[in-house]
Amino acid sequence: MKSRPLNVLFYGMTHEHAPGKLESLKRLGDDFNVIAIVDDRDRKAPQHNNEKLLYEGLRVVSEKEAWEIPDVDVVFVETANRDLMEIAAEAARRGLPMHCDKPCGEGMEPYRSIVEMCREKNVPFQIGYMYRGNPAVKFIWDFVAKGGLGEVAFVEADMNHDYQLPEYPDYISTFKGGILYNLGCHLVDMVLPLMRGRFLSASPFVGDAPGDPSGARTRASSLLRFEGSEALIRCSSHMPGGHLCRRLRIDGTNGTIDLCPIERFDGGELKLSMNLKNPSGGHPAGVQEISFGVQTDRYAPQLLELAAVVRGDVPNAQDYDRDLLTHEMTLKACGYEQ
């Protein structure tokens, strides 16, 4: 068992989550030590001022130098969206545990082959589905699984932003699924544990958000139909309030849960509202509010789970099949042919 912090190769500056992930790793200094950051800025992607990351005191290396670095314990794949699977495949071939950002490619391959390679080697391949560590979302999954809402009939989830990056519409429109491909995976990952019955169909729409060029793929929705329930997921690149407008609402035969915003890091408490027809799970009937306190770090819960596995403190309990299904359903939601 390793007592020292895990040595991290942080591969990329171009992913939109790179700044936040790096800041989380710095806060988790007892568990992670970033020994090198790979400069991948030749890859084309909006960089969200990533150049302003606090690189002082950290070693910056080229992509050519990256795989020559010794004593790497875990790789963080934070390169451009289109290139994530290329770098993840290289780490998997080397048997390196990794945290890899989303999305996982516009087809099931090479993602499926990387998953199977990691499964065979029992190597963690954590995808950055950032709501998996969210305490309110975890409460909802558990409450619904135990029948607290009765039978779930309908779920609505939206994930918007307001980046105001001039190059964003052209960039995101290089993907057939546009913004739904980029962000919808988080919504699919939240929604799937709530659905009842066999998947039936997806009805996607991808268009341009107000103010964006005609033909831009910056506004999207998809209706996912299952045998016993339905889910509507939505994304837009022009929504005032951005993160604070993101919502997850679940309607069941015993009531409704509404989580808005899904997360917050403005010093306010993360809360959900719940209206139950009958008492359930220790909660009374009627309208009530549940607080999960103040959030301080979006990524820490996932990253600490990964650290414990890599150190050998706990066995690797990754549900590889769940991750494959999340990606498969994301592609269906976006209208990709399987």
Give the pLDDT score at 51. Answer: 56
The neighbouring-strand residues paired with 255 are 252, 276
pTM above 0.85, yes or no: yes
Average pLDDT of the chain? 94
DSSP string, 102-162: SP--SSSTTHHHHHHHHHHHT--EEE--GGGG-HHHHHHHHHHHTTTTSSEEEEEEEEE--
pLDDT at 3 > cutoff 50: yes
Which of 150-154, 164-168, 309-313 has the weakest average pLDDT?
Answer: 164-168
Give the pLDDT score at 8. Answer: 98
pLDDT at 2 > cutoff 70: no
The whole-angstrom separation of Cα 156 and Cα 256 is 11
Of 16 and 156, the structure prediction assigns the larger pLDDT to: 156
Q: Band the pLDDT of 52: cuts 50, 70, 90.
A: low
> Three-class SS of residue 237?
coil
Which of 212-226, 228-242, 276-290 has the weakest average pLDDT?
Answer: 228-242
pLDDT at 241 > cutoff 80: no
Give the pLDDT score at 55. Answer: 66
Geometric angle at alpha carbon 55, from 241 and 78, rounded to 5° = 60
> Three-class SS of residue 187?
helix
The whole-angstrom separation of Cα 89 and Cα 70 is 18
Helix runs in 122-273, H state only: 135-145, 168-172, 178-191
Phi, psi of 68 (to 5 degrees): -90, -5
